[in-house]
A and B are shown apart, each in its own frame.
Chain A
Amino acid sequence: MKPVKIAPSLFAKIVCFYRDGFREMILGRTLWKIIAIKLLIMFCILKLFFFQGFLKTKFNTDNERAAYVMDQMTRSAATINTPKEVKKND
């Protein structure tokens, strides 16, 4: 009995397309390594240790964050609008 030939599905064709494309890369391999190292540095070092969102880490809720930012605005305005002599007495 002859084996029945099954036409590859569209999904299989796409998978093969990508697989073959990646396999045949030469310069692309170096570039992908650079991308991987870069993303690793960005997300696993920079983001994790140096760039945690300021408000996200300081406050737990959006209400607290909103109150803090509003306070920053009005407090700085109060500092500006208060004459220096009063500030000294404070």
Chain B
Amino acid sequence: MKALVAVIVLTALALVGSRRVFVPGKSPFAVQSFFTGAEFIIIGVLLGREFLNVIDDATLDLLRPFVCVILGWVGFLFGLQFDRQTVNKLPSGHFAVSVAEGMITLAIVLPVAWYLLTRSTDAAPDVVAIAAVTLAASATCTGLTALTFIERFKRPAPLQVPLLLRFISSLDPAVGVIAAGVGLSLFAVHPFDAVSFPMTLQWLVISICLGFVTAWIFVSLTLTRTSQAELTVYLLGVIALAGGLAFALRLSALFVSFICGLVVANLTHVRSIRGRVMTIMAHGDRFLYFLLLVLAGAYWRLPDFPLLFAALVYVAVRMVGKVVGGFLSTRRLARHHAVPPLIGLGLVSQGGMGLAIIVELRFLVDLPLTEAVMSVAVLAIIINELLAPWLAIRTAARAGESIS
């Protein structure tokens, strides 16, 4: 009965979320800033093992194949956005700014996470490594939800900074997905040291190959005339194949399907059906996103004091990474445009991709350390999501955008 109630609640929440959130309301900013999606993680926490236990371990086990598909879906859709034509249309330098910002954040968070995890746990070095890489990879991701507040609470004005923030938020998760994919390929279950480096490197090659092969399958299926119904079947089939294969080999489903989506998006003859694929994916996108938020909450364990502290440290280090990354990456752009030095404060929202990376780690490496990492990261994401609207508005205001 519990599983049934859990599934009813999950479906209802995902449905309500997909209909209600991101829809401009009439309530004041302070109220709206609470509803960025983080509330669904909190609801998941309440329904999960730590509180009501409506979504218990049995339900989570039942949903494992679906989580696999959700992660594959998220990765594929993200990769699909990177088609050459769209990327070429981006304003000059924005792509480089986004990648640089992500990499700088990664470079700042990774050593700190690695150092702290090494000092505070006695887990095996490869587990520590993968946990640190995942935390850093998740930290690089920026969500778009906070940026909608700039649009909701502004007067019509030139949107130079919000636009730049939007570009960075759309593109920098790629750094996170690649970092997580590389990290999982190198470290997860395959002990990593200098001697075995070439051996572990093969898993990275396999990850990339899987992405290419599944993309090839999709492309070859869509070479001939394909109805929307057939396209849906092929799409679901390829996503399940890519995500499931990656997970079965203990590789990153997000990364493999990201590569798959990327390759599909950039093959000339498939570009004509890219729009149709996007339409299919748009039908399920929000629903699956909110399902992921609730599930992540359900997986969460109540942290003890050191973990609470660790979450605050993670939030702080990530914010430093974002600020430094934002500042350094936009210096060249700032010569010609009014870019505030603290633009990174507008990138605090961690978003769905950051969460997906953490959920994936929890799925692939089921160890006490990864459970702790998940607790820290989910808590940090909630804090970031609550702070993000305020900081985004403030960043835009400082840049001279009019805020009501």
A and B pair up: no
